[in-house]
Structure 1
């Protein structure tokens, strides 16, 4: 992952450390490739939500090819996922789709690049076969004397490519206007709840995928059948009970099931009580 650069259009701000949706841009991209076998970040060390290996190019500020070559020295994997650290809408499923496309393309395909709706290639959202990637970087360095300052198009022009279209994953944050647009989009579209849950799990150090629909249904039933404050308190108690039983999705599901059953019993009793009260009123009205 490339996390260097001067961020001149951000006034020199540390772009990978800028927060969108409560998480740094760097952590958002790291979350999208969380299942990578090894993660190397080329750039200054920063706090991250998960452990990574850090490195720098010999001359910082040498551009993407120099940074890419520095990162490749620390991996022996057959394929290399290359990402920039300013992609707020990159998702794990997009990363998996890139990797699947490379496998499906067969050995003759040397890289799969993401492309945006306008047809522009994004070499820093791509998966490469490592051997031809290293080969072409070495040839470029030999031809030009070094990789310092060379544009990415010199690399991709020599590789056998295929492309994966995606409508939003290539959105990057080069300006404060881009940052503002990303922050607004997260809050305006239908993914705001997922964004919040992901940010909260990262902040709390939780790596747990649970059935959020079931928890929301439980909260709704507790709020309607008991009282509004019962919703957050009940979901808290479910989490606490699951933790006491070792945690994990199964423990959460079992605690949720029990709480749902209790809420149903509570609601049934309330309905019975209301029916009994109604019958008593009717009987009183019929009495002479």
Structure 2
């Protein structure tokens, strides 16, 4: 789980602590992978008290981009019993939990993994990928570029066969701005009102 970006469009306010419907984005992301055998959260040390059973780690140096974050997360999970399939999530995608079962079901013998796709665009940070294939892709990129820091995710996934899982319900909507957060909170209030909830 990637939870350590700069949040520049939020004025530097850390995304993990943002509230959606009264729940932190970090908690929504952790709930999305609640059934995982192991979870790595890639983010700052001040999340230590919030990650529960998850392993907290960080790319070195910090702010190395999502590929460096993926690498750090894989290293944190590199122990006996490491999962055969890794779910990749960005902490700012609060609806990802709806997609996780669909992604896992789409990881068949014919592909390396699966990611959400919306409007013809792959959402690579809402994905499920075979761990060995993902590790190999990271190592290939490291060998080609000399470092995984500041590398584009599209370069990492170029080596992977990812099945596209249509995002039919906005599960890949992300929180990049305050307007995004306000819109999502309003949508939740509207949905609750339609159901007659307080």
Superposition TM-score, scaled by structure 2 size: 0.90
Q: CA RMSD in A?
A: 1.8
Higher helix content, 1 or 2: 1
| Pair 1:5–1:191, CA change in 2 (3 A) | farther
| Mean CA deviation greater in 18-27 or 184-193 | 184-193
Shift of the alpha carbon at 1:85? 0.2
Matched, 1:100 2:102: no
Match in the other structure for 1:172: 174
| Superposition deviation, residue 43 in structure 1 | 0.5
Q: After TM superposition, give the deviation of residue 51 of structure 1 in Å.
A: 2.4
Aligned to 2:83: 77
**After the TM superposition, which parts of structure 1 deviate over 3 Å for at least 4 consecutive aligned residues?**
190-193
8 A contact 1:88–1:182 mirrored in 2: no
Q: Which structure 1 residue ranges, 5 or more long, are not aligned?
A: 197-288
- Structure 1 or 2, whichever has the larger Rg, is 1
1:35 corresponds in structure 2 to: 35
Partner of 2:93: 87
Compared with structure 1, are the counterparts of its residues 52 and 164 closer, same or farther at alpha carbon in structure 2 (3 Å cutoff)? same
Give the count of matched residue pairs: 190
Is 2:24 the partner of 1:18?
no
Q: TM-score, normalised by structure 1?
A: 0.63
Q: Distance in 2 between matches of 1:120 and 1:180?
A: 24
Greater RCO, 1 or 2 (C-alpha within 8 Å, sep 6+): 2
Any unmatched runs of 5+ in structure 2? none
**What's the CA shift for 1:90?**
2.4
Query: Larger % of strand: which?
Result: 2
Q: Distance in 1 between matches of 2:147 and 2:115?
A: 24
